[in-house]
């Protein structure tokens, strides 16, 4: 059995080294509360969310006082301040997230808004990239048509090595690990 506390700490260290912000909560109720805080502190006015069981439940618990869009994301993701999506796996050693992006909505909310908030099941942590590939390969009959690995906020550098954050994607990546995504801690 994996030591998720150790894997989480390893992921957090690696992800924060590339400017991601990493949090861990007990359940989706806490995730909703944290989402509300992050959105408010970030001064967001509009959130675009790719619907999934975790995202939908998190939004139910969130106390958001801003516009929230879950439909017609082609129209809304580009001018949203925050994108919210569920990610499929987290690779501790390199601080990367993996997502089945076959659904265009997941790509839109993870690439276009200024801030991407990623919900991840703590149990989806794997130690390293080899384990991630092995996990994907074990399900080779259902490999996604479009898969993405996300490591920190978008970054690019010119020929003079001047690093710029957020040019080709989100300037901020906030990752929320959820220990008990199937229920509340008090149930």
Structural domains in the chain, CATH included, are 4-180 (3.40.50.10420)
Q: Tell me how long the chain is.
A: 187
Is pLDDT of 169 > 80?
no
Task: Give yes or no for a contact between 66 and 44, defined as CB atoms under 8 angstroms apart.
Answer: yes
Q: Give the per-residue pLDDT at 185.
A: 46
Segment 13-54, tens digit of pLDDT: 999 999 999 999 999 999 999 999 999 999 999 999 999 999
pLDDT tops 90 at residue 164 = no
Instruction: Give the three-state DSSP class for 69.
Output: strand
Place of tokens 């300037």: 171
- Tell me which residue of 182, 186, 124, 171 sits closest to 18, measured CA to CA: 171
Which whole number is the average pLDDT over 70-84?
Answer: 96
Rounded to an integer, what distance in angstroms lies between the CA atom of residue 69 and that of residue 23? 24
Work out the angle between the directed axes of helices 28-42 and 53-61 (0-180°, nearest 10): 70
For range 134-152, the mean pLDDT: 84
The DSSP code sequence of 52-85 is: -HHHHHHHHH----SEEE-S-HHHHSTT-SEEEE
pTM exceeding the 0.75 threshold for the entire prediction: yes
């Amino acid at each position: 059995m994996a030591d998720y506390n150790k894997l989480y700490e390893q992921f957090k260290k690696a992800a924060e080294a590339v400017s991601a912000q990493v949090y861990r909560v007990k359940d989706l109720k806490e995730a909703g509360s944290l989402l509300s805080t992050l959105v408010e502190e970030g001064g967001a006015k509009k959130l675009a969310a790719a619907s999934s069981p975790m995202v939908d439940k998190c939004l139910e618990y969130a106390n958001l006082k801003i516009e929230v869009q879950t439909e017609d994301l082609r129209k809304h993701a580009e001018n949203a301040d925050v994108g919210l999506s569920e990610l499929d796996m987290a690779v501790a050693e390199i601080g990367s997230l993996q997502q089945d992006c076959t659904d265009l909505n997941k790509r839109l909310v993870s690439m276009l808004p200024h801030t991407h908030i990623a919900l991840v099941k703590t149990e989806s942590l794997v130690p390293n990239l080899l384990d991630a590939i092995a996990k994907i390969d074990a399900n080779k009959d259902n490999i996604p048509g479009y898969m993405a690995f996300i490591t920190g906020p978008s970054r690019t550098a010119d020929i003079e090595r001047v690093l710029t954050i957020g040019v080709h994607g989100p300037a901020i990546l906030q990752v929320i690990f959820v220990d008990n995504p199937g229920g509340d801690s008090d149930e």
